[in-house]
Amino acid sequence: MGQFSLNNQIIVVAGGSQGLGKEFARRFYQNGSNSTVIVVSRSRSKLQQAVREISGEKTAQELTDGLQLASGQRKILFAPCDLADYEQVERLHGTLTSCSLTPTMVLLCAGGSHPGLFKDLKGSELEMGVKVNYMTCVNLAHVAVRNWPSTHLIFFSSAAAFFPFIGYSQYAPVKQSIKALVAILRQECAQQRVSCVYPGNFDSEGYVLENETKPAITKEIEGPSEAISCEKCCNRIIKQLQMGYDDVTTDFIGWFLMSTDMGLNKQNNVSIGWPLLWILGIVSNLIIVPIYMLICKFQLRKWRKSTQKEM
């Protein structure tokens, strides 16, 4: 189990062309020493733009078969790949191997939410939710476990995995599946460090798009939640990983919601104040959660009546 460091790493950042993935790529490249960063996503143009912005160079270098890299320098490369396509992920592995690059860290940041009522979502949007939020994650993780057994895997789920509610049918169930996958991998891959981040709201391109389709009732139940910057979110995650925590939240509400998920079947939870989380979880599930769920039921009943009047 290696200690988290920005230095002397070979990092693959899935979803590294924008948002939190891009911020992590920036942090490793600008603050790390002797580290190689490979940013991966579907869009070649977005990857090129991201690498140019991070490096400050006019051109961006693509990862290609047999590429020779000078040692002792910080480097950032891009690799277009649809991570939801397993064959493309295997080709990415082949390219890394041909370049003598064995990742020491894989950040599984790819994902995105399209809020909306279940009946109003298109079949293509539901399918995209599974592909973008789960298949991109499970495919790369599978290749990593099979070929890079010492790699630190860092999954990105969501605080919504602890408390799914109306409007997130395309997103929350899939993020819960990542939480389950992490629990299983910690049992099967004891030699690897497996971390999982449960971010709250953070300001990114995806967050702006999310708010465009988010139903009013979703906003009401979610409550006022100011989105922190990608930079601040990244800082909090790095700090906790460096402290040795592997179940990471980025705000108090995420930490509190994680406490309600603590139980006898929780495997290897390593998070800030976990003994307090366990006690708080017992108290919350006995007292706080039932009261809050009554409030949610009232909000939903009020919303249903208003929508019936509009029909």
- As a CATH number, domain 10-283 is 3.40.50.720
User: Mind telling me the catalytic residues?
Assistant: 157, 171, 175
Q: What is the mean pLDDT of each run of 10 residues along the chain (311 residues)?
A: 88 95 95 94 95 92 87 86 97 96 96 92 95 96 96 95 90 94 91 93 80 85 80 95 93 87 60 77 76 78 74 56
- Condensed to tens digits (0 to 9), the pLDDT of residues 86-132 reads 999 999 999 999 999 999 999 999 988 899 999 999 999 999 999 99
pTM of this structure:
0.87
Q: What tokens does 195 get?
A: 């971390």
> Residue 184 corresponds to which amino acid?
I
Domain definitions of the chain by residue range = 10-283
Greatest C-alpha distance within the chain = 68
d(CA 266, CA 272): 15
Contacts of 46 (CB under 8 A, 6+ apart): 17, 18
Cβ count within 10 A of residue 226: 8
Please return the burial class of 3, using the count of CB atoms within 10 Å of its CB with bins 0-12, 13-18 and 19+: exposed
- The predicted pLDDT at position 310 comes to 63
